[in-house]
Amino acid sequence: MDQKSFLDLLTRYNQGNVTEAEKLWINKWYHKLGDQNLSDLSDSDLQLMEDRSWIAIGNKTQKIDTQYLSGQKPSKSIKLWRYVAIAASITLVVLIGLLYTSNYNQAERSFVNDNDDLALINETNNSNRPIIISLSDQSRITLEPGSNIIYPKVFAADKRTVFLKGNAFFSVSKNPKKPFLVFNEKVVVKVLGTSFFVRSSKDNRGAQVSVRTGKVQVKENEKRTLFSLSAKKLAKPILLTPNQKGVFANHSLKKTLIEKPLPLAVAYNRPSHVNYNFKEESLKKIFATLSCAYGIEIRTIDTRILDYTFTGDLADKGLYEQLDLICGSISRKYTIQGTSIVVSDKN
């Protein structure tokens, strides 16, 4: 049985269009899989399993065939082995099918099927530098090398959807009546008008969404598997604001801060009136200034340090370098906890 047949069988199972015998085979082997992480198995691993299984079956059935050809009457145990061999071949097909579909991601196929009434453009960046793609609504995509994007030549009347494989930066034109949705193999990002990065992890098991401007909602892509996922297993959606990042892995979405936060004035291309040259300024005022400039909460474990003062020019330095200098001057450290920065003792 080839891979298409496997998919057909499992699709019919998911739709309830299988015989009782097929249903029994699939349920029996599926539940035997337990909590194994099947996605860790490569195609070569699956092929090796299949080859070894057929060799084992062949060795048993060869003895049976030899006895039949020589005219010997097969024993009850040999007869039993023949049935075992037949049953093993059937269950092996089902097992390999389950293993294959655990690695199979049908998110792209579902996206194409859902947009089959639109003229889709499939574009891959085969160069060694980012390329810019302009969409019909004046949104722009900066597609990184080796990445692929599928998008309609003209968007539908009620929504704007694209499918991304790889990494890209999106600058989305505002249109509250037509939400913009970015699908990839793991998550769906919903925006009304903003700019953000979408990245796949190196092993393609996770995804990251980093927001520069505006707000985005991130949720798990329910259509990435042939089998529908239960509500309990799906990751809870999250809302991200500028300088925040959502990380998806193992049916979980977590919020944290991006690697290089930008002042909001820079992100939105607006004039900045923040003075980063502090002279005997209290840490309470400095932290309030930085929090407002970056849109990030900065809090302290020991509130007494808020009365300490700092003198120094922090202009042209990133947020984390600014905090390194401030905390170093008072023998403290900072840590990132979720989407907040917490200043505490070094111990």
Q: Are 132 and 141 in contact (CB under 8 A)?
A: yes
Residue 205: pLDDT above 90? Answer: no
- 20-34, 235-249, 284-298, 299-313: which has the minimum mean pLDDT? 20-34
Residues 97 and 126 in one domain: no
Dist. CA 277–CA 270, nearest whole Å: 20
Domain count, the chain: 3
Residue 3: pLDDT above 70? Answer: no
pTM: 0.68
Compute CA distances 209 → 229, 296, 344, whole Å: 22, 17, 29
pLDDT in tens, 327-346: 999 999 999 999 999 999 87
Residues 91 and 113 in one domain: no
Residues 244 and 136 in one domain: yes
Residues 16 and 136 in one domain: no
Structural domain range at position 97: 3-103
pLDDT in tens, 138-175: 999 999 999 999 999 999 999 999 999 999 999 999 99
Mean pLDDT for the stretch of residues 266-273: 92
Residues 121 and 237 in one domain: yes
What are the helix and strand counts (H, E) for the chain?
Answer: 8, 19
Residues 229 and 124 in one domain: yes
Task: Return the CATH number at 297.
Answer: 3.55.50.30
Residues 249 and 136 in one domain: yes
Q: Answer with the one of 65, 87, 103 that is the final residue of a domain.
A: 103
pLDDT recorded at residue 109: 86
Backbone phi, psi, residue 28, to 5°: -60, -50
Dist. CA 216–CA 253, nearest whole Å: 13
pLDDT recorded at residue 32: 46
Task: Return the CATH number at 193.
Answer: 2.60.120.1440
Residues 24 and 50 in one domain: yes
Mean pLDDT for the stretch of residues 40-53: 49
Backbone phi, psi, residue 125, to 5°: -85, 100
Q: Are 300 and 326 in contact (CB under 8 A)?
A: no
Q: Answer with the one of 225, 256, 287 that is the final residue of a domain.
A: 256
Strand intervals (E) in the chain: 120-124, 131-134, 140-143, 148-152, 160-165, 168-171, 180-183, 187-191, 195-200, 207-213, 216-220, 238-240, 244-249, 252-257, 277-282, 297-300, 309-313, 332-337, 340-345
Dihedral in degrees, nearest 10, Cα atoms 153, 155, 157, 161 = 150
Looking at per-residue pLDDT, the higher value among 202 and 14 belongs to 202
Bridge partner residues of 297 (DSSP): 340
Residues 111 and 251 in one domain: yes
Looking at per-residue pLDDT, the higher value among 193 and 40 belongs to 193
Q: What is the mean pLDDT of the chain?
A: 81
| Tokens matching residue 291 | 């929090």
Q: Answer with the one of 56, 75, 103 that is the final residue of a domain.
A: 103
Residues 87 and 13 in one domain: yes
Using left for φ > 0, alpha for ψ between -120 and 50, and beta otherwise, residue 250 falls in left
pLDDT recorded at residue 41: 43
Residues 124 and 89 in one domain: no
pLDDT in tens, 81-138: 555 555 555 555 555 555 444 444 578 888 999 999 999 999 999 999 999 999 999 9
Q: What percent of the chain has pLDDT over 70?
A: 67
- 45-59, 82-96, 229-243: which has the minimum mean pLDDT? 45-59
The length of the chain is 347
Residue 31: pLDDT above 70? Answer: no
pLDDT recorded at residue 184: 92
Close Cβ partners of 63 (under 8 Å, ≥ 6 residues apart): 78, 81
Residues 320 and 301 in one domain: yes
